[in-house]
Structure 1
């Protein structure tokens, strides 16, 4: 018996259309799309709570450091984990602060993970409602959670909801990529950066993915 097909949020036809659009609008994107494998945004369903947790862990860290700390946190809390090894609210609602700190989390990140877990566990925060919001409303709802700023909310929209037109102005990897590929490494201001990103609409998330590939600086969220 053949395995069941993997459910995706972005079909192969949708991704191909996005890449054709980007290649037409931007010579740099055309080159990146030819250089790197196809974008994986929306190609697997990620658990929403898990994405929030990994986003918080990744804040202000290199990809390597985030991977290391995430593995330590998983070892500390994932007893009785789900089959895919995803974090769930139950892993954190009663987690001892000292155990999370020993895994490498800051005091703040440890508090945030427990706080969000309790809000989700109690039903005060609903991922189902979030899926039906427009981008800015969803970002605002996430930003209201402890430890979730705009960057983390934008990463969530890209990777958990597969929203295809997000560009995170606050992401260092993306800013460095735009500076290097469009301005010989010299720093561009916000207005100039947004003007470059505007040419990628309505697929700025896909363009961001290729910029991360070029910079080898993609956030670790799965």
Structure 2
């Protein structure tokens, strides 16, 4: 009976190990572009927050206000782009588009206020009864896309580029900082950083669809 190799890492660690290696092996220029995209997202979100405050300084509500509406719109556009990516892209990129694109519907519903919420003060809202229907419709859309364009799993880690690690990590960092701001009741900062996080995902989705060849693994299929 063959003995297990004590130097071989557990199976569950392999994706994290490969992602860390991918991070280290990324060209510095590409990492710099990812960081610049995140910084640009913060600047645009901050400009939007300042603009809304300037247009209506007295009635500008950060919570359930124009910033959250902008978040929902950005998330919806990003999710639609990723849905397109399932059709246009292949292999790891298609897998990424399917997972993130589907998950974003829950973020959209989270950022869109309920019409019966005590904090709702007008504008775009979603009735609570419609949320299951929206999730079902989104599930059907992605299921149809994956039925027409099935996913193929990697046979070895060398086939994967983990191209999403840096932009997703930067987006996650913005979300984490926004939640810290939330605990401090810095509502405008929270909503601004959340908008920046979603803008960063939008820019990444646009870059992926525009030049998918830049994100392919050298050892990929």
Interval of TM-score (by shorter of Structure 1 and Structure 2): under 0.3
TM-score, with structure 2 as normaliser: 0.27
Q: Which has the larger radius of gyration?
A: 2
Which one has the bigger helix percentage?
2
